[in-house]
Structure 1
Amino acid sequence: MSVVFNILNVALTPLSMIILSIIIIIIIIMLPFLYFKLLIYVKKLVYTENMTMKVVLITGAATGIGEQLAYEYAKRGARLSLVDIRKENLGAVADMARSLGSPDVIIIGADVTKLEDSKRFVDETMNHFGQLDHLVNNAGVIGVPTLVEDFPNFTKYTSIMETNFWGAAYGTLYAIPHLKNSKGRIIVVASACGWFPIPRLSIYNASKAAIISFFETLRIELGWSIGITIATPGFINTNLAWRVIEDEATMGRLPLGSAFECAKDIVKSACRGDMYVTNPSWVKVLFPCKVLFPELVDWGQRHIFELLPNPYKKKSN
């Protein structure tokens, strides 16, 4: 025991001084960053962008989150350019947006996967309004839930990447010069599946991961000239979500968020200048869980979505 005490007497004091010095150095290094974060936090508390008479272009605006985004911007007095491949469904959305406070709304039928259509809806927006302040890349599809090894062929799923990724990239390409002039903002509706993939949705997960990476890269390249807000919603109560649940019953075990609340959070965060927004907020807890306990998360998902081997299932001869 005396040997232990002697070691402690000799080693504990210098060791504690070393640990204390490291802590002090970390605090000194972190202080400027923490001060910067505090300033940003205070700014967000007192500042929000006034959208009155500003112009917002929303793709995929006929239903779901896109429709609710149109209503949220309308409540803030923004002028709207609503784009969807189903133009016939945009009329009712435009009427509701006007009744909620939007002074001017135009509707454009376009396919975001076509480069010429993307150029056209940006041009038509500029020709009508003469400016563009927010571009909301919302158009997206999910596809039929399928295990990768059960794919009939990959060509059946290329439309998911074309819509979700290229559909956002094309419109952004043509909108960038106009957004630079207005010091505007790009809002991209990705998905929490981009960083927390769900089984049977591999191509959808990949397309959303690609969106996140693309727009994070673009934000670095553009610097302060255009703001970018990346939205990563969880599973939201929309027609798309219900079609997935109808095709794969285990997807019904996922809690569904509100499209109204999701759109409200996205617009609030965009006007506040946030880099990221996740709705429902509890979904953010999944990210550290995946980082810290990846094996447990994978096992849990295999259990929830019935991907664990069934010991009672007879093997076919």
Structure 2
Amino acid sequence: MEGNFYLQRLVFWAELPNPTVDGTLHLSVFSEDVAGKVVLITGASSGIGEHLAYEYAKRGAYLALVARRENRLREVAAVAQYLGSPYALVIPADISKIEDCKRCIQTTVTHFRRLDHLVNNAGVSSVNLFEEYDNLQNAVPVMDVNFWGMVYCSYYGIPHLKQSRGKIIGIASSAAWLPAPRLSFYTSSKAAVISFYETLRVEVGRDIGITIVTPGLVESEMTQGKFMSKDGHLYLDQQLRDATVSAMPIMPIDDAVKGILRSVCKGDRYATEPRWMKMAFYYKTLWPELVEWFNYLINMRGSSNSPTDTFGKRLVQLSGLKNWFYPDSVRSPDLDVETN
């Protein structure tokens, strides 16, 4: 009972408005109108980045879409303009490279003469047990994309965002709170993102709004099973996906991005979708041993030596929960996810 009392108190205080750096109270009363504003989105060729582009487009924003897959970006740009964006600029780039990040910002500002929102979304997931790596250098791209890509874009974007009194939206993950097996590098990179933006908020928070987004499992190429192998290559493995995701519900992408953009326009400091995932943070804080034991039971224990034959995977398959917890796009056995 005592633990539940303190948990309720934590939830209560977490829902209160947050003070800004100068000590004034931040009240999320008014929603920003992004019509006519310039929004740069990294990782815009799929998942959260793609669908955030569509939501911004519906609200009349100009878009700069960044990702490696130019053909896919052009498809997203065409849909965005159909949905209401006055113009969607396509910028093929690899954000793990500092020169590409600098070029993305410069190209956007040269074309539109301003930058209002910088959505740092691009990410990749490596799903391997730590001891499975033959060469740890193959895990370096996870940190290069998930963390350094956001750092580079933020560095070059801040001068322009200060002029427009704009916003940075950093897409981290609620996985940063949880000791999930096979996700050691991914969770570490997302924890670094949260810490980076919390510190940056102290430094520039009076001039630039910063929203840290911590999604749970959301319909995307990652939850479809697109991972980085221990050899450093992207591939599709739905069996490994089932073993990793197990009995956790996957949120439909449209619902997730609507909630995220709603929080961004309100000026919220943090956004979590689905909202119930916030509870994972409090459980991890109050009962870390319980969370570790549960994750081991669900995601590590199995009836064979196969790394994908876990208790959580069997539970989902035998109980029929997969039909309830996984959207159609994730359940399909005939997925054709690009792995380049």
TM-score in same-fold range (> 0.5): yes
Distance verdict in 2 for CA 1:270–1:34, change over 3 Å: closer
Q: Distance in 1 between matches of 2:221 and 2:165?
A: 34
Q: Which residue of the other structure, out of 215, 221, 224, is the alignment partner of 1:239?
A: 221
Kindly provide the CA deviation profile for residues 245-272 of structure 1, in whole angstroms up to 9, marking residues without a partner as x. 6251312412211221111111111110
The Cα RMSD (Å) is: 2.1
Q: Distance in 1 between matches of 2:19 and 2:157?
A: 31
Amino acid at match of 1:212: I
Q: Distance in 1 between matches of 2:303 and 2:48?
A: 37
Name 1:131's counterpart in structure 2. 114
Report if aligned partners of 2:38, 2:115 keep a CA contact under 8 Å in 1: yes
Name 1:297's counterpart in structure 2. 291
Amino acid at match of 1:284: K
For residues 66-145 of structure 1, what are the structure 2 equivalents within 5 Å?
A: 66-143=49-126, 145=127
Amino acid at match of 2:219: N
Query: In the TM superposition, what is the alpha-carbon distance from 1:223 to its structure 2 partner?
Result: 2.8
Q: Distance in 1 between matches of 2:136 and 2:58?
A: 42
Amino acid at match of 2:61: A
Report if aligned partners of 1:61, 1:139 keep a CA contact under 8 Å in 2: yes
Name 1:147's counterpart in structure 2. 129
Structure (1 or 2) with the larger CA radius of gyration:
1
Amino acid at match of 1:101: G
Query: In the TM superposition, what is the alpha-carbon distance from 1:61 to its structure 2 partner?
Result: 0.3
Partner of 2:137, secondary structure, is helix
Query: In the TM superposition, what is the alpha-carbon distance from 1:150 to its structure 2 partner?
Result: 2.0
Distance verdict in 2 for CA 1:193–1:91, change over 3 Å: same
Kindly provide the CA deviation profile for residues 119-173 of structure 1, in whole angstroms up to 9, marking residues without a partner as x. 1110010011000000000000002x21112222211110000000001110110
Question: Unmatched 5+ residue regions in structure 2?
Answer: 1-12, 228-236, 305-340
Report if aligned partners of 2:256, 2:274 keep a CA contact under 8 Å in 1: yes
Name 1:273's counterpart in structure 2. 267
Amino acid at match of 2:47: G
Matching of residue 196 in structure 1 with residue 189 in structure 2: no
Q: Which one has the bigger helix percentage? A: 1
Name 1:215's counterpart in structure 2. 197
Q: Distance in 1 between matches of 2:115 and 2:245?
A: 39
Query: In the TM superposition, what is the alpha-carbon distance from 1:183 to its structure 2 partner?
Result: 0.2
Report if aligned partners of 2:142, 2:185 keep a CA contact under 8 Å in 1: yes
Question: Unmatched 5+ residue regions in structure 1?
Answer: 1-29, 311-317
- After the TM superposition, list the runs of 4 or more consecutive aligned residues in structure 1 that deviate by more than 6 angstroms: 33-37
Name 1:62's counterpart in structure 2. 45
Q: TM-score normalized by structure 1?
A: 0.82
Query: How many equivalent residue pairs?
Result: 275
Between 299-308 and 89-98, report the one with greater CA deviation.
299-308
Query: In the TM superposition, what is the alpha-carbon distance from 1:44 to its structure 2 partner?
Result: 2.1
Distance verdict in 2 for CA 1:303–1:94, change over 3 Å: same
Q: Which residue of the other structure, out of 154, 173, 184, is the alignment partner of 2:155?
A: 173
Amino acid at match of 1:74: A
Query: In the TM superposition, what is the alpha-carbon distance from 1:287 to its structure 2 partner?
Result: 1.1
Query: In the TM superposition, what is the alpha-carbon distance from 1:235 to its structure 2 partner?
Result: 1.3
